[in-house]
Amino acid sequence: MATAHIEAKENDIAKTVLMPGDPLRAKFIAEKFLSNVKIINTIRNMYAYTGYYNNKKVTIFPSGMGIASIGIYAYELYKFYGVEEIIRIGTCGTNKQDLKILDVVLATSAYSLSNYPKLFGGDNINEISSNIELNNRIIKSAKNNNINLITGEIITSDVFDPYLDDFYTYLKNYPNKEFVAMEMESFGLFYLANKLDKKAACLLTIVDVIGKNLSATSTDREKSLENMIKVALDSIL
């Protein structure tokens, strides 16, 4: 069984998928946290892995960057491989001055100006919630690991916010709400999960604090995200 973008056999992919953006991060997670690991996709160098975490079968499948990319992989996993839940584990920026580099965020909803829902299903939607059941499991996991979890609404944008010349003019495009973070994928994931009657959640690690000129290194972005990864993995047990 293969799709246009995934070469795995049907039984190669678990019902639960953790989805980082970066294929190298997927490799890092699989090698460090899983046992009996098997590589199940190499198409377009989107290396994906299935293994076991405390005897629980789990797949680590990268999404790439942006709604269009995560939309392809999440749709094929949900629709053709019978995946029931996807937890995005990624990075984000924030303009909240009380938050710090490597703080962990749980997105309760994602707001976007993207036309993805309209083009995909004729839906005029700007904000979509994540799955409450998954969120509750993640919150419990964070408490068990003594990891402080910031929860709240996020922005999913088509632009990488550190490159903006005027971030605060950019923010005027969005409702006057207390968004805790900005990233580039979750809105598409949440939309597909709702559309296909599946589950989705999103855990993020802050790597940019706008206004303080603080930014994580590329090494941090790839490897120093272990609190988020541990919370996500323990939530699936």
DSSP state of 224: S
Tokens found for residue 133: 């059941």
DSSP string, 127-162: EEE--HHHHHHHHHHHHHTT--EEEEEEEE-SS-GG
Q: Is the Cα torsion angle 166, 167, 170, 172 positive or negative in sign? A: negative
Q: Tell me the C-alpha distance between 227 and 73, whole Å.
A: 25
> Is residue 208 within 8 Å of 216, Cβ to Cβ?
yes
The helix/strand/coil state of 159 is coil
Q: Tell me the C-alpha distance between 130 and 197, whole Å.
A: 12
DSSP string, 88-112: EEEEEEE--TT--TT-EEEEEEEE-
Determine which one of 12, 161, 208, 234 is catalytic. 208
Q: Tell me the C-alpha distance between 198 and 86, whole Å.
A: 8
Tokens found for residue 81: 């491989």
Our answer to whether residue 208 is catalytic in this structure is: yes
Tokens found for residue 103: 């703080």
Count of other CB atoms within 10 angstroms of residue 147: 15
Active site residues: 208
